[in-house]
Structure 1
Amino acid sequence: MADTLLETPLAALHRELGGKMVPFAGYAMPVQYPAGIMAEHLATRQGAALFDVSHMGQAELTGEGAAAALERLTPADVQILKPGRQKYGLLTTESGGILDDFMVANLGDRLFLVLNASRKDVDCAAIEAVLPAGVKLTRLPDRALIAFQGPAAVSSLATLAPAIAALPFMGVAAAEVQGIPVLVSRSGYTGEDGVEISVAAEQAEDLARALLALPGAMAAGLGARDSLRLEAGLCLYGNDIDETTSPVEANLTWTVGKRRRTEWNFPGADRVREELDGGPKRLRIGILPEGRQPARAHTAMSMDGQTVGEVTSGTFGPSLNGPCAMGYVAREHAADGTKLDLMVRGKAVPARVAAMPFTPHRYAR
C-alpha cells in the first residue's frame, strides 16, 4: 500500500500508535487506533482528540485584488473578510454544481486556502485559470495540517500557547507552540470547539506529540471524523455534495454572500438564482432511522412504495446512541417529521426527516 499511496508527515507516528491505515483520497490514512472509533468519537465530544488532516490541500493567494479574483470562482463574499478572519465557502461550476467546499482566511497580506484532498488539484487548476495578472496561487505541499478538536482542546492547547485562548470562532492567527511556529484557526469539522493548525511538515510530528501529551488527549482517525461530522450535519465532498448538486439543493445557500446575490457574477449564478426563486427539485435533509441499523450511502428512500430520494451518508452516531443519515429527497417530501422508508438489506426500515445538526454545535461564541 505504501508503494502506491502518498503519506502525510505523521505516517510514522500513526503506525507507532497502532493506527489501522487505509487508502483515502490517494493517501494512506489512519481509520482508527486500538481504542476504536467509538472511543475516539466520544473522546472528541468529551475532551480533546487529534486528527491528521495533512492530506488536505493548503495554498496561498497573493497580489493586489486576490479576494476579487477568488470571487470569480465562488459565490462567497471574500472581499468582506477582515484580516484574522476565516470563512467556509463553495467553489462552483458554470452549470451551478459544487466543484468543492473550502476554507479561506485573510492573513492581511495574503489569502490562505484549505481544499479537500480529493479535489485540491482540480481546485488549484480552476483557480489559476481565472487569476488576473499580478495575482498568484502558491501551493503549500511542505505544510502539514492538524485538527485538535473537543471541548477541552483550546484550554489544553492554551497551556502551551496562551494567546490561542482568546482566538474567536473562525479567527486565525500566527502563534508558537513549544517554539514551533504555527498558523492556528479556531475551526474544525466535528461540531465541537477546537482548532486546525498549519505547521511545517518537518515539525509536524513534534507538534503532534506535544498535543497528545496534554491531559486527556487522544489520537483519532477517519472513522471518528466521519461519524462526528455526520452527527454535526456537515457535508462530505463526493458523498453529500459534488458537481451535480447546487448550493440551493445542498441547503448551503447561506454561503452565497448578500452582495453576490445582487451581482450574480459567479459561476452557476443563473441556476442558483432560479432555484432560490422557484425552489429546487430536491433538497438535502437529515434522516433518523428507527432501530439500531445504519442506512449507508446509496440506500433508497421511499414513500408508499415510490422512490423519492437516496441516502448520501449514513452511520451509527455514538453520541446519539443510534443511527443517523443525510441525503436528498424531492422537495415536497423534505419537511421535518416526514415519514420515509429506507430499503436496508432488502427490508423497509421506518425513518423520519429530521433537522440537522443531530448533535448541537458547540463552537466558541
Structure 2
Amino acid sequence: MHGLTYDDIKAATERITGQVRPVAIAPVAPGTIRAARPGPLDDRSGEPCEVWFALEYMQHTGSFKARGAQNFIQAHREAGTLPDAGVTIASGGNAGLACAWAARQQGVRATVFLPTVAPEVKVARLRRLGAEVRIVGAEYAEALEACTEFAAASGALASHAYDHPLIAAGAGTLLEEIHARIPGLDTVVVSVGGGGLFAGVATAARHHGIRTVAVEPENCRALDAAVEAGRPVDVPVDSIAIDSLGARRATALALHAARADDVRPVLVPDSDIARARQELWDHHRIVVEHAAATALAALTVPDPDRPETPSDPGHGYRPSGGERIAVVLCGANTDPSDLVRPAAD
C-alpha cells in the first residue's frame, strides 16, 4: 500500500500558497491542559505542557477543506483536465463548501450532493457560493453514490471529500504552516473522519519529527476499525459530529499513515465532544463545529489514564511535562444556538 509523501505536501504548498489563508495560532493559558503522563519527555517532567490552538476554522469557507479543494482544482487546471461540465462532490457540507468556493475561484461549475443530516447553515452557504445543491440519502455514503452516478452521466470531474491524494496533500499544507509558527512542536492533535486531513497532517508531521494524535468519536471509528482489521472496513456511524466525521470507512491513505510509530489513535465519547465545544465558547469565545471540538476533547476527557480493556481501548491523550502541542480546530460551519450562554464575568 502506498501513502502520501512529503513531496506531495511540498507540491501542494507551492500550488496553493497565496490562495488560502495562512493559519492563525493562539496560545492556550498555562495550566488549562494538565500534563500528568510520564513518557518520552521525562527530561521536562517538571514543566507544564504548552498548548496552541491552530485556528483553521478561520480558513476560507470555514474549514481546512479549502486547502484540498484548491489543490485539486488547480492541479487539474494546470493539467488541462477540467471539463466543461465542471466538478461534482459528495459531502457532509464542509468539503462541498470548499469545492464550490474553489470552483468559483477558477470559474468552474460545481454540483454538490449532501445527505439529509447536513446542517441547513451549510446548505444555505453552498447556494450563496453558486453551487447546485442536491440532497440525497440519510448518510454520506448515499450522497456519494448519487454523485458518482451524476459524474458518469454528465462528464463532470468527480472530486472527493477526503479520499484523493490531491485533497489529502492540500490538507497537509496546514501542518507545514503550524510547524513554521511553533518552534520545537512535539505533537499535533487532529480529528479524523474519512482521514484526508489526518493523512496529510501525519505525513508532513512525520517529516518534521512530530507526533500525530488521531481523534475519533467512539461511534464514528472508521480509522480505529481499519487499523484493527488491517484494511479499510465499513463501520456504523452515530455521533453528534456525524455531519463532518461520519465517514463509513477510512481511506487507504489514512490507514497507511496510522501504521506509523509516531501516530497515537484516540477515541472520545460524544459527551466529551459536547463539553469541549462548550468550553471553547465559555473560556475562549471560540465557536466551532463538533468535529473541531473532537480534537480538543482528547486532551480534556475526565479520566484519560484509566486502564485499557478489550471493550474499552482507552480514551484521551494526557501530555507529558513540557510537551508542546498544537490542537487543530478544523471547522466552524455550525449553528451556535445550542451553545449555553456563559455567565457574565
Same fold per superposition (TM over 0.5): no
Q: Which has the higher helix share?
A: 2
Name the structure where strand makes up a greater proportion of residues: 1
Which of 1 and 2 has higher RCO (CA within 8 Å, sep 6+)?
2
- Kindly name which structure, 1 or 2, has the bigger radius of gyration based on alpha carbons: 1
TM-score (norm 2): 0.28
